[in-house]
Structure formats: structure tokens, C-alpha cells
Amino acid sequence: MRFFRFSRKNLCIPYALYLILFVVAPLLVLFYYAFTDGQGRFTCGNLTGFFTDPNTLGTLCYSFAIAIATTIVCLLLAYPVAYILATGHFKTKSVVVMLFVLPMWINFSLRITALKEVLTLLEGNLARYPFFNTVIGMTYDFLPFMILPIYTTISKLDSALLEAALDLGAGSVQAFLHVTLPLSVPGILSGISMVFLPAMTNYVVLDMLYNSTYIMGSLIGSYFSAYNWHGGSMIALILLAIICLFTLLNGEAEESSARGGALL
């Protein structure tokens, strides 16, 4: 009688089961509903319907606009903060970093509710500036996710490279543009992926500020709430394809920047 022998390969069994049950199986169900109709027959009508429906295309474009604007604002705010935190001589640097991360520990709904009250006091009627206020809400939510990767990347830079640039006659601005900034690109790209992708689908900000459904995440939810699983599944698959493409391009950009940094 052979007894079960434990090996390192057995450690992957729980993870494999998790992937099958909670990743592969839901994706198969999603594919089934996306390419079938109400009678269970194969159809591409859900796919063509997405690209011919002005509502879905408008929502996709609006989601892209929200995500791009949020990412740009987060980057413009996060990079100077991360640079100062990484290169500054603070006695309590860890405390300062924690203060920027601390909002992530507070309940999301509580933060957005507080932001809504502040915006209402400043503007009176939030409906006057929906795009602007949505970007503010998204930035408030995702800014720490942009700061942390950039801060980590700059903190790990070899200071000898910057010193060599200064010794060779480069000014502080030139040294930053030709040494620090290129070497911090991997952190920038990581921050962009951590902000851009969630900003496309995070409908909680819109729901709590305006109770609206003009972003991809809330549009998918509205389809499933109306029991239109076929249309909702197709929108979810298209959004998944966009996210995978963006992640692939971002990964290639990170590899290219890493190879360029190795040559410095």
C-alpha cells in the first residue's frame, strides 16, 4: 500500500483549485452568456450590438476620458510628492509616508461621503460640474496608488549615478531629466496601471456623487440588474480585453524602460 507523499508540487493544489473555481469557471460562464441569446443559441449579436449602440459606445468613451484625466492628475500630483519623500532628509520619513497612505485605511464610502459634503459646500449643486467632480473623487481615491510605486522606485535609485552626472558637469535640472526621471519610469508605469484600470470601472464614486450609471462598471451592473446577462457578459468581456491589452502594453513598456535604465 502506497502512502501519500507530500512534495512541494502539492502546495500548488489549493491555488489551482482556487483558479479553477473562482477564475476559470466564471470566465467560462461569462463566455457562454456573451455568445448566446435567450434561447441558448450561439450568436454574435451581443458583440455587434455593443459597437452599434450609441449608449454603450458613449459610456466607453466617457470611461476612457475619466480614466485618462484621473491618471494625468494623479501623476502630476504624485510625482513631486514621491520625489520629495524619496530624496528629502526627513527624520520621520516613515511617518510622512504613512500620512499619505493613511486615507487608504479609511472606509471608502465614508471618504466619498465626506468629499461629497465638501464639494456641496463649495459648489452648491454638484450636477453643474459632473466630469470635474468625478475626476476629483477618483483622484482622491487613487492618489496613494500612484505615490507608492513612484516613491519606491525613486528610493531604490543608485545615488552614485546622480553624483556622476553632477561631477560630469550636468546641472541639477539636467541630472533629473536625464537620470532620475528615466530611471523612475517603471514606477510611473506601475502607478498608471494601478490608477487607469480601476478608474475605468469604479462606479462607486459616480453612484455616491450623482447616482448615475454612465461609466463601464455601473453599465455592466445595470445590465445584470435588468437580467440581461447576455449583454452584460459581452460588455464585461470587451472591458476585460481592453484591460488585458493595456496590461500587456504596460508590461512591455516597463521592460523597455528597465533595459534602457540598465544601459545608463
Which grid cell sits at 36?
Answer: 448566446
The per-residue pLDDT for 26 is 92
- pLDDT digits 0-9 by tens, 62-117: 999 999 999 999 999 999 999 988 887 777 777 777 877 777 788 888 888 888 88
Selection from 177, 104, 188, 183 nearest residue 149 by Cα: 188
Residue 164's pLDDT band, with cuts at 50, 70 and 90, is confident
Residue 5's pLDDT band, with cuts at 50, 70 and 90, is low
Which amino acid is present at 249? Answer: L
Q: CB burial class (10 A; 0-12, 13-18, 19+) of residue 192?
A: buried
The per-residue pLDDT for 213 is 60
- In whole angstroms, give the CA distance from residue 112 to residue 206: 10
- pLDDT digits 0-9 by tens, 9-57: 777 888 889 999 998 999 999 999 999 998 889 999 999 999 999 988 9
- Spell out the domains of the chain, with CATH numbers in brackets: 44-262 (1.10.3720.10)
Q: What is the pTM of this model?
A: 0.83
